[in-house]
Structure 1
Amino acid sequence: MLEIVISADRASVERLRAKNWRIHYLFGQTNLRLKGPNTTAERREAPQASTSGLAPKRPKGKINLQHSKAASSALCWRTSRRHVDIGLIQEPWINGGQVRGLPNKVYQTIYCDKSVSPRALIILRRGLTCLPLTEFLTRDLAAALVEVRTESIKRQLVIASGYFPGDAISPPPEEVQRLIEWCRMEKKQLIMGCDANAHHKVWGSTDINHRGEDLLDFLFSSNIEIVNVGNSPTFMNAIRREVIDLTLATPFIAGMVKNWRVSEEPSMSDHMTIEFNVEATASADVECRIPRKTD
């Protein structure tokens, strides 16, 4: 890994941070260290795109790309190397009014193409059988119905990527609430990767805010489980480390999620990549955070 150290006065360092600079090195990952007169801070940035997959024993995940070209490049490299089936992505790179930088030759993309700057997107490996749920395609939500083979039968599973705006009164957004209600009415299983922009100690945050309380109340009342394991930060910058990215699921599919983890690989974004497997033939219970069973 290449590391670049820049020594500068404090004012110059803060100006660079304010510009949210990222460096992309063609042959690998690059860390930028901004060294001021009294402090040294290492920028490790990770896309918050979600990658989640459905084939047994194949890594899946989620990540927020923060509209970054470098984060998109890192995602392409990771999906190719790890043979990811599905990616649940927030804040993709937008250039010229178009979503850019995704591995379109290998993956199909699902998002609201009527939105000028979509903040939720799904990528699926070509060959997977899927149907976009057009009524749930908005700027901050992407959803699709995919076909999953479990042992000798086929099941339909709803996958979704969501961005919960931090300036909204309380999460989740109305369209997410409608999607969860639709899944309940249609008896569909759901798994969603989201940037919740909400804090609660139930999912590993360092504190609790009103958005976290409202979101937890909604998940409890809707019988939605939090699949996150542990308290490894999903968001990191020079001044803060926090858990704000969640994997949510209906109880049945939550029991099929295996090997959930926050990747330590550089993501070139402030959000880390979350990886997990959905093992469609699994029947054993897994450790997860269930709001209704948490004090």
Structure 2
Amino acid sequence: PRACILIGKEHQAIGLNDFYHRDLVAVAVKTTLKGVRRDIVFCSAYLPSDSSESPPTRELRDLINYCEVRNIALVVGCDANSQNTVWGSKRTTGRGTALLEYLATTNMELANVGSIPTFVTTRCQEVIDVTLCDRITMERCSGWMVQQEDSLSDHRRITFTIKGCSHAEVKPARRNPEATDWDLYRSTIESKLRGKPQRLYHMRKLEMETRPLNEAIIDGYHASCPIKTSRVGKKVTWWSKEIDELRRTSRRLWDEAHRTKKTEDLNYYRASQRAYKTAVKRAKTEG
């Protein structure tokens, strides 16, 4: 199988047997919003890049049609293997165009926000994963973001909240600097400072330009690192300080390798990631 769904014990879920395939699985989860109970179908889908047919797959088309005809809420997490600037990719491919054209004929909308890569290797960083919601459920979806820490996979973990689905404790809203969209940060500052003088020769002029510079930096940070509400999940019993340190080291080496593009730094990152993965697997086995 290339698709799966993990459901927490606190949720009531029923598998949809007609939508169990190698590259697609779907479950109906009971939710409550303002006293109104409603099922939401959650789907995990994989769209193979080597398929001779344009995306999405027939199985995903059938599920979207099934839910649309019956007015059933639907959320799809999808490894689309498709690139389109509409959902943050660096370029648009034929697969990306085909998928977007199909979505335009349905009631499904994109939940993706920003352009942080969802697929990350030492040779490629791109947005090829999409999250889809029907128009009604889209109003209940918030906080969509790509997590930057290692996920032990080429794909980054994507998190978001659907109102009425979570029973987790809510923590105060805050900014997470590790989740900053640095491309957006730089572009925001550049647009704010466009037309400003590059060199200043008088102290008075320097003082006058300090305020716009500070405002540009603050605006850039606020735009690229919005306030998010985090949630407290269950404590992972096998997690340790050693694993946490290995994850921090791997993240730091990835940032360095991404910045320098040097083969030596990429090798350091690969070695640290292998050590991190090994430690996690060992801890899970022993724990």
The answer to whether the superposition gives a TM-score over 0.5 is: yes
Report how far residue 146 of structure 1 moved: 1.0
Distance 2:153 2:12 in 1: 31
Contact 2:33 2:164 in 1 (8 A): yes
Q: Secondary structure at the match of 2:18?
A: helix
- Residue 224 of structure 1: which of 81, 92, 108 is its match? 108
Equivalent residue letter for 1:270: D
The answer for the alignment partner of 1:251 in structure 2 is 135
* Structure 2 residue corresponding to 1:272, chosen from 156, 178, 181: 156
Q: Does 1:260 align with 2:260?
A: no
The structure with the largest helix share of the pair is 2
- Cα separation, 1, equivalents of 2:161 and 2:149: 17
Identity %: 38
Separation of aligned partners in 2, 1:180 and 1:173: 11
What's the counterpart of residue 219 of structure 2? none
Q: Equivalences for 1:156-171 in 2 at 5 Å?
A: 156-168=39-51, 169-171=53-55
SS of the residue corresponding to residue 230 of structure 1 reads coil
Task: Report deviation, 1:249.
Answer: 0.7
Deviation at 1:178, TM superposition (A): 0.3
Query: Matches of 2:149 and 2:116 in 1, distance apart?
Result: 13
Count of aligned positions: 164
Q: How do 1:60-139 residues align onto structure 2 when only pairs under 5 Å count?
A: 118-139=1-22
Q: Deviations over 1:247-291 (max 9, x none)?
A: 00101111111111000111121110101111239xxxxxxxxxx
State the structure with more CA Rg.
2
Q: Which has the higher contact order (CA 8 A, sep 6+)?
A: 1
Q: 2:77 aligns with which of 180, 185, 193?
A: 193
Q: Which aligned runs of 4 or more in structure 1 are off by greater than 6 angstroms?
A: none
**Structure with the higher strand share, 1 or 2:** 1
How many Å apart are 1:223 and its aligned residue?
2.1
So what's the TM-score if we normalise by structure 2? Answer: 0.56
In angstroms, what is the RMSD of aligned CA positions? 1.1
1:62 is aligned to none
Deviation for aligned residue 1:140: 0.3
Aligned residue in 2 for 1:151? 34
**Equivalent pair of 2:12/2:29 in contact (CA under 8 Å):** yes
- Structure 2 alignment gaps of length 5 or more: 166-287
Cα deviation digits, residues 207-243 of structure 1 (max 9, x gap): 1111001000010111210000001000111111100
Query: Which amino acid is the alignment partner of residue 136 of structure 1?
Result: F
